[in-house]
Amino acid sequence: MLASGRVATFLLGVSLFAGCGSDFQTRNATGGSSGSGPSGGAGGVANGGSSGKGGTANGGRAGTGGTSASGGTAASGGTSAAGGSAGEGGATAGAGGSSSGGTSGGSGGACNELTLLTFQDGGFESQGLGWAGGGNYPEYASVTNAAARTGSYGAELNDTGMGVPAVEQKIPVGAEVFGKLVTVTAWVRLVSFPGLRLLLEANTAAGVHLGIEFADTDPANPEWQNLTTSLTVPTTTDHLNVAVGSTVVDGNGVAYADDVMVCVDGFCSPCN
């Protein structure tokens, strides 16, 4: 990692941004949520919940005489006694229940690491590993401390002349991903640049676009914005292209991008 204040410049690349005349749609990713209270997932253990004889819950059920934490409730499918104490056999937790203060697994729960696709350095903490400059030359893209939303680094798009800025990453695709819905999210901030676009492409080996989806920033919002877009992978796809770039044909200014994430079937990279 670079010391504070140093800058790493991206390699050159080509992508599709403003001025290409295509119509696209956006879709929202399903976000996870954390549960509160002492309930556990199927077969799980309720943190701070059931105790007494039999110790921890086995198969989601407390031992004989066990009591749940004060005011605790069970997940869907379970029951707890008024006042937070369970009767004989304790409280049961339904499938997909979350542990105390934690998150449940699977879709809508805790993050599972994506292995079907290889997406690198979504938080830019490895100096943009796997990313390249995109848009029209020169791309004006670098990794800086100032562009970080989380961690120490982010991608800074600093357009000071002709062309438009962008960063992009190609993701190889295998047959196991064909027909699956891929969702990409990214956090961006318009410091002084007019607009940014999160772009997701499905391409052939020759670069022919089989599918394109994107989401644009709200130009009136100067704070960090979360962009989300999704695409179902066609059967002849060779690679996906994930990019963050300009919504205008030409414009000057500074914008930031950070915390890019790719998800398939509830599995994500990076898994945070």
Task: Supply the pLDDT for residue 56.
Answer: 36
pLDDT in tens, 207-257: 999 999 999 999 999 999 999 999 999 999 999 999 999 998 878 899 999
Torsion angles phi and psi, residue 95, rounded to 5: -60, 140
- Mean pLDDT for 21-38 is 34
The pair phi, psi for residue 245, each rounded to 5°, is -155, -170
> Does the pLDDT of residue 175 top 70, yes or no?
yes
**Confidence band of 263 (pLDDT split at 50, 70, 90):** very high
Per-residue burial over 228-247, b = 16 or more CB atoms within 10 Å of its CB, e = otherwise: bbbbebeeebbbbbbbbbbb
Q: Is residue 107 part of a domain?
A: no
Which of 102, 124, 140 terminates a domain? The answer is 102
Domain ranges, residue 88: 34-102
Looking only at the bridges linking them, the beta strands covering 166-172 and 267-269 are unpaired
By the 10 Å C-beta count (0-12 exposed, 13-18 middle, 19+ buried), 218 is classed as exposed
Span of 47-56, 199-208, 220-229 with lowest mean pLDDT: 47-56
Q: Is the pLDDT of residue 124 over 70?
A: yes
On whether residue 205 sits in a domain, the answer given is yes
Q: What are phi and psi of 55, to 5 degrees?
A: 65, -125
From 83, 102, 121, the end of a domain falls on 102
Structural domain total, the chain:
2
Cβ neighbors of 56 (< 8 A, separation 6 or more) are 45, 50, 63
Same domain, 119 and 68: no
Is-contact 123 259, C-beta < 8 A?
Answer: yes
Same domain, 134 and 252: yes
Average pLDDT over residues 169-197: 96
Q: Is residue 216 part of a domain?
A: yes
- Is residue 1 situated within a structural domain? no
12 and 116 inside one domain: yes
Instruction: List beta partners, residue 246.
Output: 196
- One domain for residues 238 and 178: yes
Domain for residue 210, yes or no? yes
pLDDT reading at 19 higher than 70: no
Q: Which of 102, 129, 156 is the last residue of a domain?
A: 102
Q: What's the mean pLDDT in 153-161?
A: 89
Condensed to tens digits (0 to 9), the pLDDT of residues 72-87 reads: 333 344 433 334 333 3
The answer to whether 233 and 213 have CB atoms below 8 angstroms apart is no
Q: Which residue would you say has higher pLDDT here, 183 or 72? A: 183
Does residue 151 contact residue 143 with C-beta atoms inside 8 Å? Answer: no
Q: Are residues 96 and 186 in the same domain?
A: no
- Residue 209: which CATH number? 2.60.120.260
Beta strands 8-9 and 196-203, pairing class? unpaired
